[in-house]
Structure 1
């Protein structure tokens, strides 16, 4: 039995970008889509894989997915090895003053980093423990 895919608004937007769906709304926050296309996408055997590829990850989640420290992931962002697919405002209280903008990265883009940047010593990056520099003795 296959696991049911959870489709977020980011995933829907990526499906539109990929040409798998057409946005019928003039409102960017609206969600009307062509019913035939929705049925076609829902019937795809690879839907779970498609959704997983477009699932958004925050920077901490992306670093964990790569098994590197957050500081290494932040450096990859600085080097423009990866770009956020979207930014989301996360509220930590009741006012907008207590909100932070968090970049969200596509899982597929995060997963592709080791293959697209073989020049990095991924084994060494993954050995550096939290709170230690890579040059610190073990």
Structure 2
């Protein structure tokens, strides 16, 4: 006979949705009394399963949750910031900012009240930067430059991936590909850590224009680094 339960075990024991974590955070069940997110058998059996089921509203899918957070950032979006995606919701769940209520873990269903609370936080942009890494296209938009300039930033070693995601492009783009992911905080700090770059000039470049001379030759740690010419 089990002596303790984690969040999923407790949900299974009481036959409630996978909302135990949300219920604990909302005060509907007592705080974990064995370890972090682990409850004793007595605490689980004393919980009001019917009350938990009745209090849980209809979950929202990751796409609707992403739209709500994007709306909270404002329209138009702040300079260089990409829209919040459904996969960002999965990362916010893994970061513990939202409770998983079912569906695909990469794009999960979540609690609407928790989404609304997150949307009201003044530090929402910082939370997204901290917990939701960006792919190359999103990273370039976040920095406000073209993809070609972003690739040069990566080639020069000014920023490193914090992870990867595997995407299946089917036959159109050569099948399965590992796409690097970059920290939003690292991206936002590039103009600070690389002040010798004329970032303004890079951000106003029109498609097909080459990078300005001031960004094609940059000193790095006492050696000369070549900023390769870009065709857009």
User: Cα distance 1:129–1:73, how it changes in 2: closer, same or farther (>3 A)?
Assistant: same
Larger Rg: 2
Which residue pairs with 1:51 in the alignment? 127
Give TM-score scaled by structure 2 length. 0.38
Q: Distance in 2 between matches of 1:122 and 1:11?
A: 34
Q: Report how far residue 7 of structure 1 moved.
A: 4.7
Which residue pairs with 2:185 in the alignment? 108
Residues 11, 55 of structure 1: 8 Å contact kept: no
User: Cα distance 1:56–1:122, how it changes in 2: closer, same or farther (>3 A)?
Assistant: same
What secondary structure is seen at the aligned counterpart in 1 of 2:182? strand
Q: Report how far residue 48 of structure 1 moved.
A: 3.3
Q: Distance in 2 between matches of 1:112 and 1:85?
A: 15
Q: Flag structure 1 segments of 5+ consecutive residues without an equivalent.
A: 17-41
Which residue pairs with 1:83 in the alignment? 160
Q: Flag structure 2 segments of 5+ consecutive residues without an equivalent.
A: 1-68, 73-83, 97-117, 213-232
Q: Distance in 2 between matches of 1:11 and 1:79?
A: 33
Q: Which has the higher contact order (CA 8 A, sep 6+)?
A: 1
Q: Report how far residue 47 of structure 1 moved.
A: 6.9
Q: Which runs of 4+ in 1 moved over 2 A?
A: 5-12, 45-51
User: Cα distance 1:102–1:93, how it changes in 2: closer, same or farther (>3 A)?
Assistant: same
Q: Report how far residue 119 of structure 1 moved.
A: 1.0
Give TM-score scaled by structure 1 length. 0.60
Q: Distance in 2 between matches of 1:81 and 1:11?
A: 29
Q: For this pair of structures, how many residues does the alignment match? A: 106
Q: List per-residue Cα deviations over 1:64-108 (Å, max 9, x = no partner).
A: 1111111111111111111111011111238xx611111111111
